[in-house]
Chains A and B, each alone.
Chain A
Amino acid sequence: MRILVVEDEKKVASFLKKGLEEEYYAVDCAYDGEEGLFMVEANDYDLMLLDIMLPKIDGLEVLKGVRDKGLTLPVLMLTAKDSVEDVIKGLDAGGDDYLTKPFAFAELLARVRALLRRKEREPAGELRVADLTLDPVTHTVSRGGQEVELTAKEYALLEYLMRHANRVVTRTMISEHVWDYHFDPMTNVIDVYVNHLRKKIDLNSSQGLIHTIRGVGYMLEDRE
């Protein structure tokens, strides 16, 4: 899952990026409204964290711009103002949720999860395909009741595949949603990670869940 953080206060942006990355999200930062608007258009983000008081273009204007361009990604607004009018303005301009500064980081994570879940119209709780389960809160994965140890990228990749289970996922989709701005499209790093994942998930099981769609990408599917 790839997140764009638009926040002019560098230190806030920095701890947000760090904390979110540790939760296996791919995170990019923009430090003013203009940059934020440019980046949200250029890349396919799953969610945007948007500060309301921004230099150059105000956060509310950014939000209007995003919605005018037909982008439907969920937007979580961060605001230091907690007056009701500001909240109403933000939500009416197309915001999906808001948090008042200073916020608890754990709450921010929970809201991010909720917004992503809502985006995919998924029920809360574990993701499950056949006997493979993934818990987005504790980041634990198990196959046939047996816990599987994954690295951060492997986990992020598996989560993305599971959220799009039974659908073909292209390499471009994976690169856009699992990796951040610094991903180099010329490498075969995605295939390498998929192979790692396959070894950990499918090797000790009679049924393979990760399938390769030749020339296109991958698909996670319970074919039995």
Chain B
Amino acid sequence: MILFKTIKFKLTLWYVVILVIILSAFSFFLYFTLADSLYKGVDNKIKTMAEIAASSANSSFGAGPSIADLDRIMTERFGVRPLGRFVQILDESGRVGDSSTNLRNVKIPISVQTLTAASKGKTTFETVQVMEKYPLRLVTMPITANERMVGIIQVGSSLEGVEEALHQLLLILLIAVPAALLVTSAGGLFLANKALRPVDEITQIARRIGSGDLSQRIRIKRVNDELGRLASTFNEMIAKLEESFRRVKRFTADASHELKTPLTILRGEVEVGLKKKRTLKEYQRILNSNLEETSRMSRIVEDLLTLSRADMGELAMEREEIELSPLAREVWEDLQILAREKGIQLKFMDDGFTKVEGDPLFLRQLILNLTENGLKYTPSGGEVELKVEGDRDQGVVRIFVSDTGVGIAKKDLKRVFDRFFRVDTARSRDTGGTGLGLSICQWVAHAHEGQIAVASKVGKGSTFTVTLPLKD
């Protein structure tokens, strides 16, 4: 049964178990203390009567008063004649002398033990079964005169009242306690149910989310209780999940789109090429084009791999001290050919102390990507400047790459570091970009505890600034 495993069942069960323990303890305590005090009350009363009887027996009126006298004395002392009490006076040998009228002809037996105890001057309490269904509480007290036992007085009281009361109490407890338990456990179950209903709701929503619908949210009715907080935490978590799923989805869609274009070209060109016999020149053209597409695909795959390994934290980043300005100068020298081909003036400047701690390969790629980008988006006759500058006061090294190129529109500025984001799809593909270069730059900068930023004006050009912590 699933029910037995639910929290509400367990909660109710615990509640009931604890209640059973408390109620039983209470009932036991109540029953036994009441019984004790009732019995003691009876004992006290019969003892008092016995003492009075004994002392009056010792009075100057002579040995042993009559029961009638005793009745009178009792009435005087207690106001009313005590009902249900029996008095019996015995001589020192234990023979019954006189007894109260309500005993009629019944004799209360006296055991040898009690008699011996009385002869030694001791008072004995005992419970005996005499004539009725209720037992009799009996006190046996010696009557002494001049330090000598002259007789024995026995006062008995029926325990009818006491037993009856205790019986009644027991009955009440046996009925009321289970009834109370039944009611409270039903109430407990109801309360647990009510308190835990939002949990069921959360479970249902979670199940729906688990089946792929991340747009589901839990409706929160009470904001400030434990479950309200749980629900809102849960909602926040789902929102984050949804966002990252959306990003992953867009990323895979973009990646597949980027890879599909070269694939389409490869497949289409080969299929059309194979439809009939072609000239050697035609075959060469197709193969060259295929080679171009293949290398474009491998570039994309490589960049994707770099980024996904960076995401997984699998890329081992070297930590060594490097001077940035010679590194940048190398990049500048390597790119001179490309710049000359495009008819762009590529300038280099360095200033100050530019030592940083980091991975030379990745930092080189960062500078290369940014400078190459600058060259790509700058028309012939333009200018690209690479500048490395150490700032001791602020403890940073800055890399500036500025161009006089096409620039980036304001609405696109935020997104240029997004994976596969392109300001102009057609142009970017013509230049052979993968759409991942700036994302890699951003990752390298962040991995070196640095920042990357861009400022741009459409038609005037853009400036990318990388800030890295200076190593003294």
Contact = CB atoms under 8 A, between A and B. Distances in A.
Contact of B268 (A8, A15, A32, A55): A15
Contact of B275 (A11, A12, A19, A81): A19
Contacts of B267: 102-105
A103 B272 contact: no
B104 interface: no
Nearest to A10: B430
Contact-residue bracket for chain A:
20 to 34
Interface in B292-312: 293
A53 B276 CA distance: 31
Interface stretch (B233-241, B253-261, B357-365, B403-411): B253-261
B289 interface: yes
Contacts of B275: 19, 22, 105
A19 B275 CA distance: 8
B264 interface: yes
Contacts of A9: 261, 264-265, 429
Given A9-B261, A9-B429, A102 B272 contact: no
B257 A105 contact: no
B426 A11 contact: no
Given A22-B275, A80-B256, A102-B260, A16 B425 contact: no
Contacts, number: 63
B266 to A, nearest CB: 7
B427 to A, nearest CB: 8
Main secondary structure on B side of the interface with A: helix
A22 B275 CA distance: 9
Contact-residue bracket for chain B:
20 to 34
B226 interface: no
Residue with the greatest number of chain A CB neighbours at <10 A, chosen from B269, B271, B429: B271
A83 interface: yes
A103 B426 CA distance: 21
B261 A15 contact: no
26 contacts: A9-B261, A9-B265, A11-B289, A12-B261, A12-B264, A12-B265, A15-B265, A19-B271, A19-B272, A19-B275, A22-B272, A22-B275, A31-B426, A55-B424, A80-B256, A80-B257, A80-B260, A80-B264, A101-B260, A102-B263, A102-B266, A102-B268, A103-B264, A104-B267, A105-B268, A106-B271
